[in-house]
Amino acid sequence: MQTPASMVMGIVFAPLGLVLVFTAAITPQWREGQVQVGPSGALGASGGGGGEGLLLLRSDGLWESCLQVAHSELKQCWPVSGPYQHDSRVRTAQGLVLASLFLCGAGIVLASVGVRCWTDLPLRGIAAAGGLLVALAGILSLVALGLYTHNLPSLGNEDPSGISGAGGSALQQHQRVPTHRLPRLSLRPAGSLYFGWVGGWVQVLGGAALMLSFKRPRCPSWPKRPPVERTEAYEVTC
């Protein structure tokens, strides 16, 4: 059997999109910012790595946050906590991403059964249903990413420093800086968001390609044989 190009495209793009969205979900680089720790113990938001003291890099994901000293191996990560964890928009993004991963996995299983490269006749309806689930998964992941990106600076903004959770407490204890002196970080989109955007669009494209399986191809018509006329044999006698 010659597998249609749309099925091949869908069965390749769907797992690729799943891997990209899963990578984005488990990495803590959805947003990032940096803060300069001066020699006197004061903190100030910084846009570059210049100046004296330590430059701390803060990054947040859906389930994990990290704090790292720039240009060093010192890094501390902890599960999201505080206002950021309880923010309804973060929780909504978490639920949408989990639903997207589940639907995409189920769609890939259905598409694999429907394509049936080991037989002569693919199950087009099952393959197209799998493509529908994959496309829906891509839409859910794109909605989650759009919601997070649109509200990125204000997520968990009840913390005036932007360094919430265990990392912020440890940093404040170490530096002995009052909370009111900690300025808000200027946060920006990070690498995991871009992985997620690419993965979401790849899922949509793969699902759309599989959904083309609903259209049945025309079977080629075989040329008809001309009717065979019976001829009677006559003996010719001389």
* pLDDT tens by residue, 79-96: 988 888 888 999 999 999
Mean pLDDT across the chain, nearest whole number? 77
pLDDT tops 90 at residue 16: yes
Model pTM score: 0.73
| H-run or E-run covering 147 | helix 124-150
Kindly compute the dihedral angle of the four CA atoms of residues 209, 210, 214, 217, in this order, to the nearest 10 degrees: 70
Q: Say which residue the tokens 């001829």 belong to.
A: 231
* pLDDT on residue 156: 77
pLDDT tier for residue 117 given thresholds of 50, 70 and 90: low
pLDDT tier for residue 171 given thresholds of 50, 70 and 90: very low
Angle at which helices 191-211 and 124-150 cross, to 10°: 150
Residue ranges per domain, the chain? Answer: 5-214
Out of 5-19, 32-46, 144-158, pick the least confident: 32-46
* pLDDT on residue 146: 94
When pLDDT is averaged across residues 98-116 and rounded to a whole number, the result is 91
* pLDDT on residue 183: 45
When pLDDT is averaged across residues 1-11 and rounded to a whole number, the result is 77
* pLDDT on residue 3: 67
Kindly compute the dihedral angle of the four CA atoms of residues 208, 102, 107, 147, in this order, to the nearest 10 degrees: -10
Out of 31-35, 73-77, 129-133, 222-226, pick the least confident: 222-226
* pLDDT on residue 184: 57
CATH number of 5-214: 1.20.140.150
* pLDDT on residue 2: 63
